[in-house]
Amino acid sequence: MESQQRTEIASLGEFGLIDHLTRNNETLNAGTLLSVGDDAAVIDHFGKQTVITTDLLLEGIHFDLAYTPLKHLGYKAVAVNLSDLCAMMATPTQITISIGISNRFSVEALDELYEGIYAACHRYEVDLVGGDTSTSLKGLVISVTAIGEVLTDQFITRSGAKEHDLICVSGDLGGAFLGLQLLEREKRIFEENPGVQPELSQHVYPIGRLLKPEPRTDIVAFLQEQKIVPSSMIDISDGLSSELLHICKKSGVGCVVYDDKIPIHPESKAAADELNLSAITCALSGGEDYELLFTIGQADYEKVITNPAITVIGYITPAEQRALLQTKAGPTHPLTAQGWNAFQ
């Protein structure tokens, strides 16, 4: 995972390391008044409201460096936070990033991590404006805070879904979870037979979904252009069921979702078949797809279906009808949040 040269972090010291990692850091946003290098960063949103979210990524819990390239990890750490801003219909503008690293990491390894961080910053035009760099006794710790902006009171919460609203989802689901299962399987095979090279070439799509998620800024832009104002929105980090239940609980509504409407990529379906898993179950309960789940009024139906990246998967019902999955075969099932409960 590391390049040939190995520079010890201790040879730079904390301030030298920060200077090294931020030496090419340029700011892209006019609102970034003061960036890395002082006690704090200063941001002007010029009268817009500030949106802020934070995520903690811990080695061994959220990622396994055995199959996660550091560059992808850096990219993903930024992407998943920007996804939360998208779920508010906010435009990402800045991030701060703190890392805790043990001395098993070299400066070159950190450079790879930051290459991914900066790649995501450039791709989504956000500025890295601060952070904290520390040693850790064990394991890599990454904490990202993302800042964005919305026009006054134009943010979308989880709590506005109303009866008869249509439930929409972007992209396709289940891929990231299946990518994880494939990588875990290859890791087990490799551990048992170190000579066997992993064979993943026919599973590029689901593995890419896990390793390099993209925040759906394109969907936010589409909704804004089309003047579609969702009644509620959330991003799918824990699986469709769990996120739908959040919207139902916060909005005080129920829902019906059709299993045959849930978008699943052909390569995800193929991976599910190979692993003897139900692709629908993976879409409902697998996490980390980072797609957007939102509800719209029926009047916006014609507009929303012009975007092939958006699928209508069901509708909102009164609270007493609970959250239901309508199967093509006939029976309905209550939706339950399997999610990825990190504490069990």
Indicate the residue among 53 and 268 with the shorter CB distance to its own copies.
53
Q: Which residue in 76, 292, 81, 97 sits closest to 179, CA to CA?
A: 76
What tokens does 227 get?
């003047």
Indicate the residue among 242 and 268 with the shorter CB distance to its own copies.
242
Indicate the residue among 74 and 100 with the shorter CB distance to its own copies.
100
- As a whole number of angstroms, the distance between CA 113 and CA 101 comes to 11
**Residue 32 pairs with which residues in a beta bridge?**
43
Q: How far is the CB of 248 from its own copies (least distance, A)?
A: 14
Q: How far is the CB of 245 from its own copies (least distance, A)?
A: 10
- As a whole number of angstroms, the distance between CA 227 and CA 253 comes to 24
- As a whole number of angstroms, the distance between CA 344 and CA 341 comes to 6
Cross-sheet strand order for the sheet of 332-334: 232-235, 292-296, 166-170, 310-318, 253-258, 323-326, 332-334
Q: How far is the CB of 181 from its own copies (least distance, A)?
A: 20
Q: How far is the CB of 277 from its own copies (least distance, A)?
A: 23
Q: How far is the CB of 59 from its own copies (least distance, A)?
A: 8
Indicate the residue among 147 and 262 with the shorter CB distance to its own copies.
147
Q: How far is the CB of 109 from its own copies (least distance, A)?
A: 14
What tokens does 336 get?
């339950």
Indicate the residue among 130 and 171 with the shorter CB distance to its own copies.
130
Helix (H) or strand (E) run with residue 169 in it: strand 166-170
Tell me the one-letter amino acid at 26: E
What CA–CA distances, in Å, run from 263 to 148, 280, 308, 312?
Answer: 29, 9, 11, 9
- As a whole number of angstroms, the distance between CA 102 and CA 13 comes to 13
Indicate the residue among 131 and 206 with the shorter CB distance to its own copies.
131
